[in-house]
């Protein structure tokens, strides 16, 4: 099997992390997240890993070091991975796509789910420090953050679209089709 690099994009709580975890568990695929280095930086600064703090760190570091800062880091890390299937989670910007498209066998995958479904999933998962207590109004407001408004244009450029409004089993079947030849 030749190397397959799948890059996931989608609005918050659409299933990107679930998809990455599935590939990691079923196919032993390494997963790379754009947010990892930002989370590491927030931890080092003893700041909460809230969506607002993540957005601020992203904006400030990109302004200081270039809009493609994280894309170049990600492409370098992913390019070195020696596995048949490699997953990139959390693609949010066209600069990210531009850099990753330089890698052979890269496919951009948009994961879609309706807003109410995503809100319910976000409340349960508790990935960020403020997820469990987030109100519907706050969730809607989060979609206006700089890191979120850049996602829909990226989704429009996807090579593949996966619908995650159904059962987890249906979602997994769609994911399997992406790598089984």
Question: What average pLDDT does the segment 137-159 reach?
Answer: 91
Question: What average pLDDT does the segment 144-170 reach?
Answer: 94
CATH number at residue 62: 3.40.50.300
- Give pLDDT tens digits for 59-118: 999 999 999 999 998 999 999 999 999 999 999 999 899 999 999 899 999 999 999 999
- Give pLDDT tens digits for 116-130: 999 999 988 877 777
Cα–Cα nearest to 5, from 101, 112, 72:
101
- Give pLDDT tens digits for 16-62: 999 999 999 999 999 999 888 899 999 999 999 988 898 899 999 99
C-alpha 41/C-alpha 115 separation (Å) is 29
Domain count, the chain: 1
* Enclosing domain of residue 57: 4-179
C-alpha 166/C-alpha 146 separation (Å) is 29
pTM score of the predicted model: 0.86
pLDDT at position 51: 80
């Amino acid at each position: 099997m030749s190397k397959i690099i799948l890059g996931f994009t989608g609005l918050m709580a659409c299933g990107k992390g679930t998809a990455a975890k599935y590939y990691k568990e079923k196919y032993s695929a390494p997963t790379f997240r754009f947010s990892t280095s930002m989370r590491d930086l927030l931890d080092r600064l003893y700041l909460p890993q809230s969506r607002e703090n993540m957005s601020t760190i992203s904006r400030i570091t990109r302004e200081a070091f270039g809009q493609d800062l994280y894309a170049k880091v990600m492409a370098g890390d992913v390019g070195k991975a020696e596995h048949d299937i490699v997953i990139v989670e959390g693609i949010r910007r066209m600069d990210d796509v531009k850099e990753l498209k330089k890698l052979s066998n890269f496919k951009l995958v948009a994961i879609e789910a309706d807003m109410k479904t995503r809100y319910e999933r976000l409340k349960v998962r508790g990935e960020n420090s403020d997820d469990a207590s987030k109100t519907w109004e706050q969730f809607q407001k989060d979609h206006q953050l700089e890191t979120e408004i850049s996602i829909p244009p990226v989704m429009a450029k996807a090579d593949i679209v996966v619908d995650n409004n159904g059962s987890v089993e249906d979602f997994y079947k769609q994911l399997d089709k992406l790598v089984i030849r």
